[in-house]
Structure formats: C-alpha cells, structure tokens
Amino acid sequence: MVIPNQWYAVLESRSLASKPVGIERLGEYLVAWRTDGGEAVVQRDRCSHKGARLSLGRVTDGCIECPYHGLRFDSSGACRLVPFMGRQFDIPSTWRVEAYPTREACGLVWVWYGDAEPADELPWFDAVPPGGGRTWQTQSIWPYHYTRLMDSNFDVYHFPFVHRSLNPGLGPVVVDQQVEDHGDHIDMRVTLGADSDGPANGLAEGRTGRRARKEFVLKVRMPNLLYLEMSPRFRLLAIMTPVDEERTWVFARYYADVPFGRLAAWIGGRFEYGLVQRQDRRILDTLPSGRLELDDYAYGTVDAGSRLWFEKRDRLRRAASPPAEAADGDG
C-alpha cells in the first residue's frame, strides 16, 4: 500500500504535547510522544509483551509506559523496565518496539518508512515557507485511497462542472498545458478556456457574453505533496498521507500574502476547505473505492500530469520493492 523508503508527514507538531498520541498512518497503528527534551518519537503502537496500545499509557522518566503491565520503552524502542520481573532483571534485547526514524520540520512530524538509510532531505517546495506567519492549517481523514486524491488534484478540467457556481463562465477546454518533469517533482500549468469557435458543452457564458479563461499552477513533490496557486496571493499546500487502503490523512495549509494575512488565510481556507472540497467529495463519494491505477481510466493528453505522477510512483515502488512485491501493487 505504501511506497517504502520515503519520508511521510504523519501529524502536526502542535498535536503532540506531553501525552502520547495514537494515530493510524501508513497501514499501521503508531504512537507519537515527546522525550523529556522535547524530541518527537514515533513507534509502533503495540507493546512487545502482550500487544497493548502504548498510546493509552504515559510518558515517564524519558520512556513510554505500557498501560497494561508498566513495561517502559525508550525513544530507540528498547525496553528499559519490566516491573513484574524486578529492576535486576536482565531484559532481552528482543523485548522492544519498532521505532521509526523521526524528524520534525515545517510544523509537522515526519517518519521514514522503509529499510533503507533515511534520506537527508525532507520533501518540500522551495517556493513554500516552512510555516507560521500568514497561514491557516487544518487536517482530517478522507475516506478515499490517496491515489484518488492525487489524481483529482491534477484534474483541473473538472472545475467548470464540479465548481460551476464558483467559476461562472469558465470555459471547459484545456487550451494550454505545460508539464515539466524535474525528477523528484512535477511542475504543471494548465489554462482552461473556450474553443475558438464559441461556447462548448452547453456551459453558460459569463456576464460579459465571453467565456472566461483561468490558469492553474500546480507543483507536486513525490510521493504525496501538492502545491496549488489559487491566485497570485493565495496558495495551498496539501499532503496526502495514506492511512490504509480506504482512507487518507489530508493536511492542508493555506498561505495568504496580503495584509492581515493570517486572518485572510483563515477566511480563504475555511471557504476552500468547507465549500470547494465539499463539492469535490460529493463526486469522489460516487467513484469506485480503493487504489487507483493508471489503466483504470481512459486517460488522454490532458492528463499528462497525472500520468507522469503514476509513472513516477511506479518507478519508486519498483526501486524499493523486490520484484514479487512490486507486482502485487504496493502504494
């Protein structure tokens, strides 16, 4: 399900305080907690003794304590205390929980998912500030596989129909498209307008009698980060982290480069997340569930961005997995 050997954002830093936090991400139950020094730790949310959820325990003496029998595990996952055996007990090295390489940056907690040595660089965009300032952010669990959400963001030509009320008169024709492959990221510009011979597809004309044009600027960082310029001064960063085969954790941060930017980001973000994405979900709810593959739909030339993302995803999947596993369709 998940492309291995990648950094994935799994929760907001502000969600992690003194108590352990249990989350579902990457097909696993995970527990996140902070050491006495404030370092973020992410581990498998199962005690190695009898499988209790560590997220129901507490943090004490720099360890997370199991709520069932009080076993304590440090940030590396090693067991440091087994109360029912006494402090003199020589704890076997196999009594440990799996700990994920963890970093904290851009207001997010990231984990490295895979067996390879963690990459030095976290996935991000040079054009996007790391956080704070004129921003508003939110998070939620969406009931769709992350491949469907990635695909829907590349598909901007749904705007004249799904978001008709917000784009009156917008022409449905892809009149210009530029897709650039930059290795670990994709840059895309798409302009929607009208056919040169007049109105198309029965879409109502704008108030001036002429059909509007609109340019969309989208950047994608593999495997699951999106950056969308909604206007020159209003931008969206979105992260789609898999939860399981049916759900995705969606993190959205809105940037407003205007006076009173934080307030503007809050207003614009609430509008976009509450109305625009509600319109999207109305359609997504009707689509087949589960993972989306490139050959599931009749993709055309206007889907060049989405096709390129799927091709890159498949290359990452093959590079990180043995041939038999890659053929099974992880991610």
Give the integer Cα–Cα distance in Å for 284 and 155.
13
Residues 42 and 143 in one domain: no
Same domain, 297 and 185: yes
4 token code pair: 């291995």
Asked if residue 191 and residue 273 are part of one domain, the reply reads yes
Assess if residue 331 is contained within a domain.
no
Q: Is residue 122 part of a domain?
A: no
What is the per-residue pLDDT across 83-114, written as a single tens digit (0 to 9) for each?
999 888 999 999 999 999 999 999 999 999 99
Mean predicted lDDT score pLDDT of the chain: 89
Per the domain annotation, does 276 fall within a domain?
yes
Question: Which of residues 55, 80, 113 is at a domain's end?
Answer: 113
158 and 79 belong to one structural domain = no
N-term to C-term CA, the chain: 4
pLDDT score recorded for residue 200: 42
User: What CATH number has the domain bearing residue 102?
Assistant: 2.102.10.10
CA distance 175 to 277: 25
Angular region, 5: left φ>0, alpha ψ -120 to 50, beta rest: left
- Return the sign of the alpha-carbon dihedral for residues 143, 149, 155, 159: positive
- Number of structural domains, the chain? 2
Domain end (from 80, 113, 146): 113
Q: What is the CATH number of the domain that holds 236?
A: 3.90.380.10
Question: Do the domain assignments include residue 221?
Answer: yes
329 in a structural domain: no
Whole-number pLDDT of residue 185 = 94
Rounded to an integer, the average pLDDT of 51-76 is 97
Same domain, 268 and 314: yes
The boundaries of the domain holding residue 105 are 6-113
Is 185 in the same domain as 225? Answer: yes
Which tens digits make up the pLDDT trace of 275-296?
Answer: 888 999 999 999 999 999 988 8
Query: Of the spans 35-44, 207-216, 312-321, which averages the highest pLDDT?
Result: 35-44
The tokens describing 208, both together, are 């001036």
Q: Please check whether residues 81 and 172 belong to one and the same domain.
A: no
For residue 193, the number of C-alpha atoms closer than 13 Å in the C-beta half-sphere is: 12
pLDDT-derived band of residue 206, with 50, 70 and 90 as boundaries? Answer: very low
Residue 31: pLDDT band (50, 70, 90) is very high
Residues 150 and 277 in one domain: yes
Among candidate residues 267, 287, 254, the one with its CA nearest the CA of residue 149 = 287
CA distance 239 to 105: 14
Residue 182, domain member (yes or no):
yes
Please give the helix or strand (H or E) that residue 64 lies within, else none. strand 63-65
Q: In this structure, are 227 and 300 located in the same domain?
A: yes
pLDDT tier at 328, thresholds 50, 70, 90: low
Sign (positive/negative) of CA torsion 221, 123, 317, 152?
A: negative
125 lies in a domain?
no
DSSP string, 182-250: -SSEEEEEEEEE-BTTB--TTPPP-TTSS-B-EEEEEEEETTTEEEEEEETTEEEEEEEEE-SSS-EEE
Tell me: do 32 and 101 sit in the same domain: yes
Q: Is 273 found in the same domain as 144?
A: yes
- Are both 70 and 166 inside the same structural domain? no
Residues of the chain with pLDDT > 90, as a percent, come to 70
